[in-house]
């Protein structure tokens, strides 16, 4: 499973990338707006930090303008994945960009039927939003399982399932159990995956015992 980090915080991305766990980055207009920084500068800097796909989203809603925006975003760096909404115009744009060799992330997916359309349009990634479905008492992880099952039936479907709107480590674990290709997680959730109380207590005991031995690995 690939781990993407869902943020535009360059310092966070740089720190997490140093662990070797980050395979890509996803951003959206809301995340960029909160950063208060120049959109193009942020995307370019992120693309320099990570080798994997960096999703940069179009702001237009009509096909013609979306395509122009997508083509401009793709020029920022070779690892930009243009993010388009799962709408008729978004899928038209996905088809043109994909045919030209640009990675495309089709976002705001909330049904298996939509995911099928994204795959047929040649999307590199489809992003089902599990947290937002859970928020309205729908089964977000059930949708992931449904999409993965459908995609596995067709060898011609090369679209990767990118689980988005993740709210907890359990979402990550369940995505892995189902066999999703990618999860995109906020930095806080990725850091939670490191944590376990038994790890903390075990480390504390080891350090206490070592300190009591009076020895030093690096010497005096």
Does 2 participate in catalysis according to the annotation? no
Strand 182-185 to 2-6 pairing = parallel
Distance CA 57, CA 144 (A): 22
Token pair recorded at residue 114: 């939509």
Kindly state the helix (H) or strand (E) to which residue 24 belongs, with its residue range: strand 24-26
Q: Which of 2, 83, 120, 195 is catalytic?
A: 83
Q: Which among 13, 43, 41, 50 is positioned nearest to 28, based on CA atoms?
A: 43
Contact 3, 183 (CB under 8 A): yes
Catalytic residues: 83
């Amino acid at each position: 499973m690939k781990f993407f980090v869902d943020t535009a915080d360059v310092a966070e991305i740089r720190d997490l990338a140093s662990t070797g766990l980050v395979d890509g980055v996803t951003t959206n207009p809301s995340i960029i707006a909160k950063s208060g920084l120049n959109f193009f500068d942020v995307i370019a800097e992120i693309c320099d930090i990570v080798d994997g796909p960096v999703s940069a989203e179009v702001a237009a809603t009509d096909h013609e303008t979306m395509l122009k925006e997508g083509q401009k975003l793709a020029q920022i760096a070779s690892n930009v994945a243009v993010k388009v909404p799962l709408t008729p115009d978004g899928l038209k744009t996905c088809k043109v960009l994909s045919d030209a060799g640009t990675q495309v992330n089709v976002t705001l997916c909330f049904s298996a039927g939509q995911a099928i359309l994204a795959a047929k349009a040649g999307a590199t990634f489809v992003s089902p939003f599990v947290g937002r479905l859970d928020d309205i008492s729908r089964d977000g992880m059930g949708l992931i399982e449904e999409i993965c099952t459908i995609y596995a039936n067709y060898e011609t479907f090369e679209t990767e399932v990118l689980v988005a709107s993740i709210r907890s480590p359990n979402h990550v674990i369940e995505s892995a159990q189902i066999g999703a290709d990618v999860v995109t997680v906020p930095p806080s959730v990725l850091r939670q995956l490191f944590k376990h109380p038994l790890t903390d207590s075990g480390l504390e005991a080891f350090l206490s015992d070592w300190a009591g031995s009076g020895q030093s690995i690096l010497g005096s």
